[in-house]
Chain A
């Protein structure tokens, strides 16, 4: 997977603009999106007014009040800064995307004639228009190839410079506006109007312009707002209590207590965490169409994975030659190699390699043999060579047996003996059972044996599945193979289950069945026939090489078209939720220390006995209050890197994960502020700030 766009968290190009961004975000309309920080801003404004009043009327403790006011505003600014940094990273990415969105001219076709086009601006195209795109042209908008085949450079969106083939029909018919045709020509039917193309959506997504709060984020905001209200009650009742005790608490102190108690840490970092989560996906070259999808990824219970390309290497390889009785392995190897010399498929090449490595048969030159290559066709399902009146064929066992049958009828020769056919079939079954694909070889009507083509399971994939199992995620392999072959590969790869001879309908049925059990399902797909399943699944990752239908149906698009990424996507989803939980826990646990800093300081004037609660031994009541509010503000800055990077995810069971995180963020959250507040108290006392 490419992490080409990785930028360091503390990049000056992002940090510097973020500082001015922090001030711009003081706009009440922007603050109102975040209830906790909005409340902090309101009380900061209130204390500022009170301070100004005291300044004019000559109140006491002006220096102390001023410092509190300053740190209150810093609390708000730090929160804005965190959000601006998170957004900054997306903005940088959006900029580079925007550069690709240059003004293009489109060759709008009016009829079926290829040359009958007129030049119009790309932005004027409507859905359903048909345009011609020739070598060198930029594709004006998203569309579907309806005629022709062309190589296209999609580096603008994928960062991958190797051109890809786009052709009409099939699963590679989608083209993206902003990409460039390198060779040939295609006729494209436009599927997206200007402003709503794929690149436009990408820009909006990475910029966070259309960022909607996700369900979990909304719920968390409610919790934080609720806690804020609880602390409003805890604080507004204090003046009455103090009055009963014959004391008076200055408003600025009450505000300080209030702001330190409400969950400002998580409130300040919440949106940064969300933006950074989306950003992490973008760095993996995955575009999530909504934050909801990212969250759902963390909840996935079942992963549907296509066998080919995800679990196994895309190509099967020859690993073994099994001759029938009366034929030597060498003889079979010779024939198989000859039949494969001109076969450019990976399977064919692997036969040549096997013949050379295991049987020492060198590659021969087709020309010098006067051989002609007989390519594979869907009808014959065989390929091979004809030379010197001799013919060799290799192909699917049934196809070869049929060929032998026809050949003997045509030549009037002897039918292949029933026992040889049975032997071939036994070998073939044997190979299929072990998860391989049998390829029969025949020379001049004589069955020689079977080539064992093996699906090579990707290295390390078994460990990944074991990891997923520990995370509580079930993996299901989807394959078109017969159940026997599928079972063997499933066992080798270590998936939990498999769906053999899968059709799109079966996939859809499987997803519905899992969902009926209350499970969340993730899958990836690229073909139009995957679209219903992609739409039905909770997390549907469409491959960028896929069809328009698939891309529309999924809620994520993988620009690298790498189906293995589903696993990383799940981890990123989990990391996003974990980071929120960890910082919420930390924020709430912090309150204990803050109480112990402020409560004794606050009431000391009329209940000196409460000095016993000053267990941190803070210097003076004023230094105690100031230290608490400074700690409260600085902890936001200190946690920005964590909120952007995310809490590290480990593939262990939920119990182990929870105890680890509870220890770090829960117990840590109890202890850290005691140390932090004490240190700040010592520092500001030494500096003589109070």
Chain B
């Protein structure tokens, strides 16, 4: 670990903290339907879209209608994407002449992009046409992110509205998230990336002759436009198979910083939107602080593990940290930081191979995902995820102040607890359940590259990543098989929708509740005490469940390494 490394980490944290207030303030105005500087440009377009859809932003929806609209929209997106992949051979913008994507892979990919996971069982440059990349995958990059934000906003309204029945209009929230938040940032960011050297064209792949005289096909295409939304929308689906480790996706340290900042920007700002909408920004900062504590802890462990390197390699007389699977232009600190950022948020873009991390270094991304990606989290998803933990934390500890637990004046009762537990239950069910089945089936075992605990980690990581809608892969596992395509697709669907539906049920119940005014007897939810409590509950309720699995994967791998004979 170096001072330079720590400075880079601090600079990153500083930028995120500086962005929270302005972006949060802007987003609050957008979702409150107030005028913003962009209203002049997008206002007419927005109203035109509502007219076209036959709705109005004033048409308020009950939680069931809101959720129904969300599900319908996502299902339509899934169908469209599936069909596009299957018939891409007969569609334009296909200079490389890609054929139809096989059904299981098309299912897996469609699910993956609709669920904001972007698990990629395909190589982008060797499977997808430009049209599918742009009009299929990239459109879902935008709208799956916007859908997630909409859900978070609906849940925030459940707390901020003082007894009502409705949560806003899904269509309006979707349109506003896309037009006013995602699109403008992406347009500006894309230009910056192009300046940094990221390609943005529709040219056929270039065939170059190398110095040795060999022929090399250099893949390219509309990369920059996909890069911005891939990170800003915490999607993570790379244009190329190597994802953000590829020099065309992530050419410089500056581009890398932009990527990382984009991954956290909206998720972090949503805490501020929450604070503003419920009338106390402190409430938002408290949530961000809890996320921050977990994030910093993750970065420290991961950076330490990678910088410390492998004692077995050291024994051979080779000093230094672990550089296996890392790009030299990013080094240890930016690879470790990127790994923690991308798994803390549900992005899944990678600039280094997590499979090659040290056992403990690779465990941190896994834990981040197992906690449900509530450390900043996926856009929207991270926020509703942490709200579920807040509900549980408040319920358990809130009793200790001698009142019926309440958060921001809304009482947490049987219905909220039931739904929060259902949502939380979904993660171990998919992550542990599918892993347990996969590692006893021959078809599941066949895809594992490494034997022993590391192979176990590969499978565990895959289902964890899918269920948490992360999409990053540990590598090593050959996921493009019918078994993994189908089960990972299922895990992604469960991880997304079986959390969102209960979360929306909570929103529907909370919005109708009266707000009891705060008094000296009210559980304070903006101080360090609450932050500590929340972190504790997240680790004990969310994390301990995975302790046996982690013990048999990365922990035993690490212990075996340090206890290896010859050290």
The judgment on whether A and B are partners is yes
Interface hits, B498-555 → A, CB 8 Å = 514-517, 519-524, 527, 529, 532-533, 536, 540-541, 544-549, 551-552, 555
* Nearest CB in chain B: distance from A658 CB, A: 5
- Do the beta carbons of A609 and B559 come within 8 Å of each other? yes
Q: Chain B: interface secondary structure? A: helix
The answer to whether A87 has its CB under 8 Å from any CB of chain B is: no
State whether A472 and B540 are in contact (beta carbons under 8 Å apart), knowing that A238-B548, A298-B403 are contacts in the complex: no
- Do the beta carbons of B436 and A237 come within 8 Å of each other? yes
Cα-based distance from A618 to B243 in the complex (angstroms):
47
State whether A216 and B516 are in contact (beta carbons under 8 Å apart), knowing that A230-B545, A237-B436, A585-B396 are contacts in the complex: no
Closest to B560 in A: A609
Closest to A571 in B: B402
The answer to whether B300 has its CB under 8 Å from any CB of chain A is: no
Cα-based distance from A242 to B440 in the complex (angstroms):
10
Cα-based distance from A29 to B311 in the complex (angstroms):
59
Query: How many B residues touch the partner, as a band?
Result: 35 or more
Cα-based distance from A223 to B548 in the complex (angstroms):
22
- Do the beta carbons of B414 and A581 come within 8 Å of each other? no
- Do the beta carbons of B556 and A472 come within 8 Å of each other? no
Per-residue CB contact flags for chain A residues 220-239 toward chain B (1 = under 8 Å, else 0) read: 10110111011101111110
The answer to whether A665 has its CB under 8 Å from any CB of chain B is: yes
B-side contacts of A473, CB under 8 Å: 519, 521
Checking A218, A574, A591, A595 against B414 with a beta-carbon cut-off of 8 angstroms, the contacting residue is A218
Interface hits, A543-580 → B, CB 8 Å = 573-575, 577-578, 580
Binds B, one of A59-67, A369-377, A396-404, A514-522: A514-522
The answer to whether A120 has its CB under 8 Å from any CB of chain B is: no
B-side contacts of A234, CB under 8 Å: 428, 432, 544-548
A-side contacts of B515, CB under 8 Å: 518
State whether A222 and B402 are in contact (beta carbons under 8 Å apart), knowing that A240-B439, A301-B516, A654-B523 are contacts in the complex: no
Number of interface residues of A (CB under 8 A): 75
B-side contacts of A654, CB under 8 Å: 401, 403, 520-524
The answer to whether A607 has its CB under 8 Å from any CB of chain B is: yes
- Do the beta carbons of B400 and A657 come within 8 Å of each other? yes
B-side contacts of A222, CB under 8 Å: 414, 417-418, 421
- Do the beta carbons of B421 and A215 come within 8 Å of each other? no
- Do the beta carbons of A233 and B545 come within 8 Å of each other? yes
Interface hits, B358-412 → A, CB 8 Å = 392, 395-404, 409, 412
The answer to whether B297 has its CB under 8 Å from any CB of chain A is: no
- Do the beta carbons of B413 and A215 come within 8 Å of each other? yes
The answer to whether B45 has its CB under 8 Å from any CB of chain A is: no
Q: Chain A: interface secondary structure? A: helix
Cα-based distance from A580 to B521 in the complex (angstroms):
17
A-side contacts of B541, CB under 8 Å: 227, 230, 588
Closest to B430 in A: A233
The answer to whether A299 has its CB under 8 Å from any CB of chain B is: yes
The answer to whether A666 has its CB under 8 Å from any CB of chain B is: yes
Cα-based distance from A241 to B452 in the complex (angstroms):
11
The answer to whether B456 has its CB under 8 Å from any CB of chain A is: yes
B-side contacts of A589, CB under 8 Å: 540
Cα-based distance from A242 to B418 in the complex (angstroms):
32
A-side contacts of B396, CB under 8 Å: 223, 581, 584-585, 588
The answer to whether B433 has its CB under 8 Å from any CB of chain A is: yes
Cα-based distance from A19 to B300 in the complex (angstroms):
53
- Do the beta carbons of A243 and B428 come within 8 Å of each other? no
Cα-based distance from A647 to B516 in the complex (angstroms):
25
Cα-based distance from A434 to B384 in the complex (angstroms):
57
State whether A603 and B403 are in contact (beta carbons under 8 Å apart), knowing that A240-B436, A470-B520, A471-B521 are contacts in the complex: no
* Nearest CB in chain A: distance from B40 CB, A: 40
Checking A469, A519, A595, A658 against B547 with a beta-carbon cut-off of 8 angstroms, the contacting residue is A595
Closest to A576 in B: B402
The answer to whether B563 has its CB under 8 Å from any CB of chain A is: yes
Closest to B547 in A: A595
- Do the beta carbons of B400 and A299 come within 8 Å of each other? no
- Do the beta carbons of B400 and A233 come within 8 Å of each other? no
Interface hits, A572-626 → B, CB 8 Å = 573-575, 577-578, 580-582, 584-585, 588-589, 591-592, 595, 599-600, 602-603, 607, 609-610, 612-613
- Do the beta carbons of A223 and B392 come within 8 Å of each other? yes
The answer to whether A662 has its CB under 8 Å from any CB of chain B is: yes
The answer to whether B247 has its CB under 8 Å from any CB of chain A is: no
The answer to whether A659 has its CB under 8 Å from any CB of chain B is: yes
A-side contacts of B418, CB under 8 Å: 219, 222, 226
B-side contacts of A665, CB under 8 Å: 400
- Do the beta carbons of A298 and B402 come within 8 Å of each other? yes
The answer to whether A655 has its CB under 8 Å from any CB of chain B is: yes
The answer to whether A653 has its CB under 8 Å from any CB of chain B is: yes
- Do the beta carbons of B563 and A245 come within 8 Å of each other? no
- Do the beta carbons of B400 and A230 come within 8 Å of each other? no
State whether A237 and B395 are in contact (beta carbons under 8 Å apart), knowing that A244-B456, A520-B516, A657-B400 are contacts in the complex: no
Cα-based distance from A467 to B198 in the complex (angstroms):
66
The answer to whether A649 has its CB under 8 Å from any CB of chain B is: yes
Of listed A575, A584, A654, A666, residue having the most chain B CB within 10 A: A654
Checking A229, A298, A666 against B404 with a beta-carbon cut-off of 8 angstroms, the contacting residue is A298
* Nearest CB in chain B: distance from A183 CB, A: 46
Cα-based distance from A6 to B412 in the complex (angstroms):
35
The answer to whether B80 has its CB under 8 Å from any CB of chain A is: no
Per-residue CB contact flags for chain A residues 344-370 toward chain B (1 = under 8 Å, else 0) read: 000000000000000000000000000
Checking A229, A517, A581, A607 against B556 with a beta-carbon cut-off of 8 angstroms, the contacting residue is A607
The answer to whether A137 has its CB under 8 Å from any CB of chain B is: no
Cα-based distance from A235 to B422 in the complex (angstroms):
18
Checking A231, A603, A612, A653 against B520 with a beta-carbon cut-off of 8 angstroms, the contacting residue is A653
State whether A518 and B399 are in contact (beta carbons under 8 Å apart), knowing that A472-B519, A658-B529 are contacts in the complex: no
Closest to B413 in A: A219
Closest to A575 in B: B402
* Nearest CB in chain B: distance from A546 CB, A: 28
- Do the beta carbons of A223 and B417 come within 8 Å of each other? yes
B-side contacts of A230, CB under 8 Å: 424-425, 428, 541, 545
The answer to whether B429 has its CB under 8 Å from any CB of chain A is: yes
Cα-based distance from A114 to B16 in the complex (angstroms):
89
- Do the beta carbons of A613 and B429 come within 8 Å of each other? no
* Nearest CB in chain A: distance from B161 CB, A: 13
Of listed A226, A295, A517, residue having the most chain B CB within 10 A: A226
Of listed A237, A574, A655, A657, residue having the most chain B CB within 10 A: A237
- Do the beta carbons of B520 and A662 come within 8 Å of each other? no
The answer to whether A661 has its CB under 8 Å from any CB of chain B is: yes
- Do the beta carbons of B520 and A610 come within 8 Å of each other? no
Per-residue CB contact flags for chain A residues 284-309 toward chain B (1 = under 8 Å, else 0) read: 00000000000100110100000000
Interface hits, B60-105 → A, CB 8 Å = none
State whether A577 and B555 are in contact (beta carbons under 8 Å apart), knowing that A226-B424, A244-B439, A520-B516 are contacts in the complex: no
Closest to B549 in A: A241
Per-residue CB contact flags for chain B residues 415-453 toward chain A (1 = under 8 Å, else 0) read: 011100110110011001101110110000000000011
Closest to A515 in B: B514
- Do the beta carbons of B521 and A585 come within 8 Å of each other? no
* Nearest CB in chain A: distance from B390 CB, A: 14
A-side contacts of B517, CB under 8 Å: 301, 517-519
A-side contacts of B522, CB under 8 Å: 472, 654
- Do the beta carbons of A581 and B563 come within 8 Å of each other? no
B-side contacts of A299, CB under 8 Å: 403-404
Binding site for A on B (CB under 8 A): 392, 395-404, 409, 412-414, 416-418, 421-422, 424-425, 428-429, 432-433, 435-437, 439-440, 452-453, 456, 514-517, 519-524, 527, 529, 532-533, 536, 540-541, 544-549, 551-552, 555-556, 559-560, 563
Closest 8 A/B residue pairs (Cβ) = A472-B521, A581-B399, A574-B402, A226-B421, A472-B519, A472-B520, A581-B400, A240-B436
User: Other CB < 8 Å A-B pairs besides A233-B425, A613-B551, 5 of them?
Assistant: A229-B425, A654-B521, A658-B400, A658-B529, A666-B536
List 11 contacting pairs A-B, 8 Å CB cutoff, sorted by A.
A215-B404, A220-B417, A230-B428, A298-B402, A298-B404, A471-B521, A591-B540, A609-B560, A658-B400, A658-B524, A661-B400
